[in-house]
Amino acid sequence: MKPEVRLALDRAADAVRRRTGASFPRVGVVLGSGLAGVSDAVASEVEIPYRAIPGLAGCTAPGHRSRLVAGRLPAATGPDLPVALLCGRHHLYEGHDADSAAFGVRLLGTLGVRKLVITAAVGAIRSDLHAGDFALLRDHLNLTGTSPLEGAEPGPEPRFPDMTRVWDPELSAALRRAGERTGTELSTGVYAGLRGPQFETPAEIRMLAAMGADVVGMSVVMEAIAARHAGLRIAGITFCSNLAAGISPVPLDAAHVNEAAARAVPRLTALLAAAASEPAFAGQLRCGTIPP
């Protein structure tokens, strides 16, 4: 990581610590387009606007709320899940560079989060995926042409981190079981991460399908690479807000993406809350201490 990013993270972590005290959840969730409503179910102990955290820009994308929420997500049965939610993310298409797109996730890692669920609305490419389906990520294609690990001096972290198992099978299995218990079936898929902001052409979607992509979006990969590099264990839950271009019978529309995702919030909320009863999350049911 670049030294200036490390410094910025330390300053941002100090600003959060001043609001939360030393105790902070060990589970984090990034809420993608239209999915910020999950935070409405959290009994929030702390809610910090991004503008109060140095280094964390406000979000310009529709359906992103620009706040960090730390609190407890209550489950219908079983224990609550202490979580830190990034309600809104930063995309390359907003003009952010790879470090800025990864800043929120790196901040969670700096604050002691060890397990992270990355959510996003996506277009469905694979023929058995439909609008309204959820898919867990089993791998990704970084087609953005950049990486948050670029830079002259990596410091103590590995220069060439292994990316064989970015998406954690154990966390993913736990989320799949939580989905089964709450009535939401989760498929699995490979995410193609593009820069956007234009949606894809039908020819690009055919190319992505040939490359092995099942779903497509404009986020996720910068966060995933930075999180793994920082040693976090991650799972990805994508919501198919639409069929991809050329498969969809109607033109794609960002307002529709957000509306469809917002309708999926109750299912996603129930699923995440139910994860607290899964062994993979059982060690995280107490807050940790923010590292000095």
Q: Which stretch binds ligand HPA (CB under 6 A): 140-148, 180-188, 238-246, 284-292?
A: 238-246
Residue 243 has which token pair?
Answer: 């069929």
* Closest alpha carbon to 261 in 31, 27, 28, 17: 31
Q: Which stretch binds ligand HPA (CB under 6 A): 22-30, 119-127, 157-165, 223-231?
A: 119-127
For position 122 contacting ligand HPA by CB under 6 A, the verdict is yes
Given candidates 99, 168, 200, 214, which one binds ligand HPA under the rule CB under 6 A? 200
Task: Identify whether 204 is a catalytic site residue.
Answer: no
Q: Which stretch binds ligand HPA (CB under 6 A): 42-50, 107-115, 241-249, 268-276?
A: 241-249
Given candidates 143, 207, 247, 252, which one binds ligand HPA under the rule CB under 6 A? 252
For position 209 contacting ligand HPA by CB under 6 A, the verdict is no
Task: Kindly tell me which of 200 and 278 has the beta carbon lying closer to ligand HPA.
Answer: 200
Say if residues 57 and 96 touch (Cβ distance below 8 Å). yes
State yes or no: cis peptide before 197, omega within 30 of 0: yes
List the catalytic residue out of 200, 204, 223, 278. 200
For position 242 contacting ligand HPA by CB under 6 A, the verdict is yes
For position 208 contacting ligand HPA by CB under 6 A, the verdict is no
- Shortest Cβ 95–ligand HPA spacing (Å): 17
Site for ligand HPA, rule CB under 6 A: 121-123, 199-200, 216-218, 241-242, 244, 252, 257
Instruction: List the catalytic residues.
Output: 200
